[in-house]
Structures are given as structure tokens and as C-alpha cells.
Chain A
Amino acid sequence: MNILVLGIGNLLLQDEGAGVRAVEEFGRKYLPPPGVELLDGGTSGIELLQYIQGRDLLILIDVVKSGNPPGTIIRLQGADVPALFQKKISPHQLGVSDLLAAAMLTDRMPRKVVLFGIEPESIGTGLQMSGKVGGKIGRLADLVASELVSLGLNIATKSAIPYEAKSALPDADFVAAGAALR
């Protein structure tokens, strides 16, 4: 299996970054099996094309406004995914539906697409998520793990490290910056 777990969103806009936070949390909690890659996609558009092309499965995690109470998690798959994003006017130059269309145009559409969406509460400037969304990040990571288990993959957990909603940026950023400063 060739699987990408892709978190999308802007970490500077509170709940907007929930998708990225969920991917970080997944990486913190679980050991991804061989063939499963994790990616913090930020708010990038067309740059993500090369990462989604040709996957057996693409698992997207993003903030989605579906009219449900904040913190509600939805799961969509197949053709419902691009259809959902077509209705939303994306703030990004090429939104998720465009990205998937581009993959289709290059004949390398992911064979299956699953979306986990979470309803945001607050998307003002700031690094901290609202309680209703921040409190569901662990749940999002667990749902991704269950999705992979349902495909027959073995998922091992790392030793339990509590999730801190306050962490400013992905650990990897700080490790790289720290290394540069030493």
C-alpha cells in the first residue's frame, strides 16, 4: 500500500490549522507502518500535486464548514470529497478540488480519497486552537489510525506522550532551527 496522510491548514489562524495539528499528533502517537507517509501540507496548493499523485489512498484532514456544531468531525470518501470542496470558495489559489482535478488530468489520481473534516469554531489570528477543536485533535488522529487498521495494516503506538495544544509549531521546525543555531 502507498498511502499519504495529508493535513491541510494555516497554523497562524487558530482552528484553521487543525488538519496539520492532527497529522503531527498522529506522528506523535503512532508509528506509521511501511508505505504510509505523513505530510504537513500547510496551505499549499499545486506544490502538493507531486505528493498525492499515484497514491493507493489519500487521507486528507482539513477544517470544513458543514454547518454542524464546532468540533464535529465528518468523514467523506470518493467523489464526495472534491464535490464538498467545490462548494467552498477556497482562500487558496488552487483548492483541494483543483488539486484533485490536476491529479486526474495527469492520469495519476489517488485510487481512493478519504477526508476527515472538523468544524472550526475560531479562525482569528493566533496559534492556539479553540477548546472545542483542540480537544478533538487526538480523536482525529485515532480515526486516521482506525482507517488504516480497517485496511489490515498494523499500527503500533509510541509510548504515551500527552498532546499539548499550546505547542507553537511542528516539532520538526524547532529541531531544524535549533540544529542550525548550535
Chain B
Amino acid sequence: MAQRITIDPVTRIEGHLRIDCAIDNGRVSKAWASGQMWRGIELILKDRDPREAWLFTQRICGVCTTVHAIASVRSVENALNLEVPLNAQYIRNILMAAHAIQDHIVHFYHLSALDWVDVTSALKADPKKTATLAQGLSNWHLNSAQEFTDAQNKLKGFVGTGQLGIFTNGYWGHPAMHLSPEANLLATTHYLQALEVQRKANMIVSILGGKTPHIQNLAVGGVANPINTDSPSTLTMERLFYVKTLIDELGAFVNNVYFQDVCAIGAFYKDWTAYGAGVTNYLSVPEFPMDTKGTVFDLPGGYIPNGDISKFRPISGFQDEFIRKGVQESIKHSWYDGNWTRHPWEEDTEPHFTEFQDDGKYSWVKAPTFYDKPAQVGPLANVLCMYAAGHAPTRKYTDKALATVSSLAGGKVPITALHSTIGRHAARAVRAAVLYETLQKQWQALIDNIGKGDTKTFNKPEFPQGEIRGVGLHEAPRGVLSHWIVIKGGKIKNYQAVVPSTWNSGPRNAQDAPGPYEASLVGTPVADPEKPLEVLRTVHSFDPCLACAIHMVDTENKEIVKVKAF
């Protein structure tokens, strides 16, 4: 008998997302993703000074503060054709890369690992066997039997208090949980270590950004970090070398723990490479500009249609018409007034709420398209594009991940396996390893440039009288972020943010083609409709962050899973 399940809200994400699935013969046959909050940031920014927009946009979301600040200043710089001094680019690049690594680590361990790892099973593990398993993966100094024993005792105490807190909503003992007790203890111990490690990334952001949460050092035209290698009140060599120490501590965890854990868990759940592909048009933008104009980048970006990496087309930079002209959003299935498909510069924001209509309007999220097609964004899109572009570090870590999984799983796992739920986790780990190399490179570039005597960090923006338009592009942890701005006479006339989770969680578009979440769920097996763990695995693999895709109306008194027969 066909069933309909409604998960509302999806937990362990930022923001409020509802997922509906029709289930036929134990598999999802149709899915709907519905953003349950409405975004109104555009309305707050209208008529404001474009130079202060970033201070507001970084408040949209509690997780992605830095990324919305960056995209906002870039949108204004893009409209003005304003160059950004090299030091400012490098400082921003270090901030972005450190933030992204923190985001990837937290996503894997604290937001999605509990879909795959059974904490209660970890209590039954043998710490010595766990150490043997861990030492086979890497020589991380905290992979000793003593560490695993300590972690297990701590977990026992924690579970004993009855306050599972952070571990609530885990589907312990679910038939889709496959890890051995030892693998569960390994992952849970690293979960605890990751809590401490993520702080190091945050410290980098605080040192360069002046403050977290909500950095203070940005400006349209550069950064507000005065550089003086001697003065203790500015960015000094001592501070910069401390940043380097933090970068390396972060890198050690990424390479020896995060990357290895994802490979090991991926091998245990090899069957999940067959689920969750969904939309295989992949979009990413180049990131980490190495010149003042935004034309030379450390990491490439571009577009791959239909999962065919031989058809990759690069995006050259912030002025590339290919991306500037290709993006549109449709509101046919979204709670806005009318039925149009428009370029972000031409959009308006007129809310029009109806009930949840399966074939009509059912989400606050608009449906973005790239040349009329839905596209998936995020680390998988980014890694596949960089791989297609021949980016050496990406090739190195992707090949390493596939080889490690193949050897652990006892059979060759091809690159096409990445088009999947587990593939999105693998790509995020590959990207974290690539970002560590980028961080080192950006840090060295900053030191070298200061060494040449260049201490410039800011170019003053000048606004013309007429109307100008710009886009701020950023390859954020969750994928392509774009802020589209129209400025008239030095004031904001229109502002639209097309965020990564809009691309991925968007509803059906003008042609009724489903968005990436919706498409990826079709075919997913669901063993127990009351406990739709498998659905959550795929949704969580995108790292949903709906707070900026939309915003809060009410979050109280909702049931989490509702099942009904048709």
C-alpha cells in the first residue's frame, strides 16, 4: 500500500525544512521539499548604503555569517568594477577557507554522522580492537586504546544521565545501521575530538575577522586589517605565525581523521553509492582570487551537464557572462505572488501563502535554474568541476579517496560512485583536504606580499549617479552563493541572494522538473516509514541550511514524523 510520510521539521539542520515522500513498495516514488520560512532580507536592504549591506547580510544565518558578508562586499565591488588589494584578497581567502573547513568538519561529525553511526552500539565496542582499526587508517596520535576507553567511559556517563541532548533524534538500532561497534566507537570518539578541533578554525576567523560570530574586518574595497609588522595593535608577524600553527593543526585532523573516517564509513555503506544522485547538472564558481581583479583563482569552477565531466565548461571569473546571464528563479511552485521566471536583478519579493499544494505552490524557496535546468551545488559539484578542470590537488585527493574506499570495500569504486548520497560526504572530505592546501598557499602568499613591502588593504569605493548592477559570487561550504545587487545613485535599489540551499532544496521549477533534494530521494529504500532514517541520510548529505534560503515564522509544537496511508 502506498504511504505518505511528512518529516517536519527535518532536524540537525539550520532553519526549517519540511520533506514529504510518497512511498511505494518500500521505496520513495515521489518527493517534495518545502522551505517553511520566508526570507525578507531584500526588504531590509532597500534604499540602504551598499557599503553597509554586508553587516546585515551576515546576520541572515547563524552558521554562514562570513560567507554572506563576503558575497555582499563582492556584489558591490563587482558593480563598481572595483579592484581589491592583494593583501585583502589573501586575508579574505584565509578567512573563507578556514571557515569552510570548520563547516565541513562540523557537518560531518555533528550534523550528519549520527545518520550512519550508532552511539549506543559504540558502548559495546572493544577499545583495543577499535585502536587496531583506527591505526590501520592513519597514525593520528589520538588513536590509542586509552583514548577510545576514555571516550567510551565518558559516553557511558553521558548516556547514564538520561540527558542525551546533542544525541537526541538518533535512530539507534535502526536496521539500516551497519557499522560494527568498533567503527561506531571510532567515529564517536572523533566526534568528541572534532568539537575541540573546529575551534581552531574559528580562532583563525576571530584573529583575522576581529570577532566571531560576525566578523568585523570587511569593507567594500578590501579589509579593515591594518598591516604593520611591528605594531602590536595591528596584524603582526606574531599573529600571522600563530594563524599558521592553527592552520597546520586543522590540516592534521583533516588528513588523518576526517578524510579517513569518511573513507571507512563510505566503505561500510558502499550500497549507498547507488542512492541519492538526483540532479546531476553541477554548478560551481571559481574561488580564492589571486589577483586584484578576480580573474585568476586558486580553485577552478564551472558547469557539468548530466553528470558528464567531459562536457565541463569553465567559469573564468566574476565578470564571466556565462554565469551572469545563466541564472534565473521560478516562483511557479513557491509562495510568491504570480507565476514568473526571472533573472535575480529583475525579481521582486511579494509573498503569497497558500496551503501545501502537491501540484501547485508548496514552498517559500524559489526554484533556481541554470539555463532553464535545475542544478546541484555544493562540495560534490565543486570537486567534480575541479576534477574536470584538471586541478592537481583535487585529482590527488579524489583518487586517494576512491583508492582507499576500494581497498577497504574489497572492490573497485569508480568516480561515478560520487553521484550519490555517500558521494556528497566523500566530496566534502576531499574538498576539506584541498582547502588545507589552499590555506597554506594563501598564508604564504600573504607573507610574501607583505615581505615585498606592500601593506595596502583597501581601495575606496566611489558611487556613480546612475544605475549599476553587480553580482557577488562565492563558492561557499554549501555551494554557489550569489548576491545580486542593483544600485542607483549610491543606494540599494534591489538585492536578491540566491543561496546554495535554494539551488538544492528548491521546489519544482517552471517546467515542473524537481529540485535536487526532491530528485535525489526518488528510489531511496525506506525500511520503516515511522523512522525514515534513509530519507534523512540523503537530505542531510546536502548539508541543508535553510535559515537564509528563507526565514522563521513559527517552529513550535510540530510533530517530527507523520505517516499516513493514501
Residues of A in contact with B (beta carbons under 8 Å apart): 10-13, 16, 40-50, 65, 82, 86, 88-94, 97-98, 100-102, 104-107, 123-127, 169, 172-174, 176-177, 179-181
Contacts and interface: CB of A to CB of B under 8 A. Distances in A.
8 contacts: A124-B40, A127-B44, A176-B216, A176-B224, A177-B51, A177-B224, A180-B218, A180-B224
Interface stretch (B11-19, B406-414, B428-436): B11-19
Given A101-B163, A101-B166, A105-B166, A94 B110 contact: yes
A44 B555 contact: no
B192 A106 contact: yes
Contacts of A181: 51, 219, 460
A132 B478 CA distance: 38
B9 interface: yes
Interface in B386-410: none
Contacts, number: 148
Contacts of A90: 555
A97 B44 contact: no
Nearest to B12: A93
Nearest to A89: B555
A114 to B, nearest CB: 18
Contacts of B122: none
A82 B166 CA distance: 11
B43 interface: yes
Contacts of A48: 213
Interface residues of B, number: 63
Contact of B216 (A12, A46, A88, A173): A173
A42 B556 contact: no
A94 B55 CA distance: 23
Given A40-B214, A86-B168, A88-B555, A105 B195 contact: yes
Given A106-B196, A125-B41, A125-B43, A43 B61 contact: yes
A124 B43 CA distance: 12
A119 B268 CA distance: 47
Nearest to B111: A93
A15 to B, nearest CB: 12
B158 A105 contact: yes
Contacts of B164: 101
Contact of B158 (A16, A93, A104, A126): A104
B256 interface: no
Interface of B: 9, 11-16, 37-38, 40-41, 43-44, 51-52, 55-56, 59-63, 65, 102, 106, 110-111, 154, 158, 163-168, 192, 195-196, 198-199, 202-203, 210-214, 216-219, 222-224, 458, 460, 545, 547, 551-552, 555-556, 558
Contact of A10 (B59, B106, B224): B59
A49 B13 CA distance: 17
Contact of A13 (B168, B211, B214, B552): B552
Contact of B16 (A50, A91, A94, A179): A91
Shortest 4 CB-CB distances between A and B: which pairs?
A43-B62, A101-B165, A125-B40, A180-B219
Contacts of B13: 93
Contacts of A91: 14-16, 37, 547, 552, 555
B198 A46 contact: yes
A46 B110 contact: yes
Contacts of B556: 65, 88-89
Contacts of A47: 102, 202, 212-213
A89 B164 CA distance: 15
B163 A82 contact: yes
Given A41-B213, A125-B551, A180-B224, A100 B165 contact: yes
Nearest to B154: A105
Contacts of A125: 38, 40-41, 43-44, 551
Nearest to B11: A89
Contacts of B168: 86
Contacts of B210: 176
B52 A93 contact: no
A12 B158 contact: no
B199 A49 contact: yes
Contact of A82 (B60, B165, B218): B165
A39 B168 CA distance: 28
A13 to B, nearest CB: 7
B14 A92 contact: yes
Contacts of A13: 551-552
Contacts of B16: 91
Contact of B62 (A44, A97, A173, A177): A44
A102 B196 contact: no
A42 B59 contact: yes
Contacts of B223: 180
A44 B63 contact: yes
A177 B199 contact: no
A102 B166 contact: yes
A43 B547 contact: yes
Contacts of A86: 165, 168
Nearest to B205: A47
A123 B165 contact: no
B219 A42 contact: no
Contact of B213 (A42, A89, A101, A127): A42
Contacts of B9: 89
B327 to A, nearest CB: 24
A55 B245 CA distance: 26
A176 B217 contact: yes
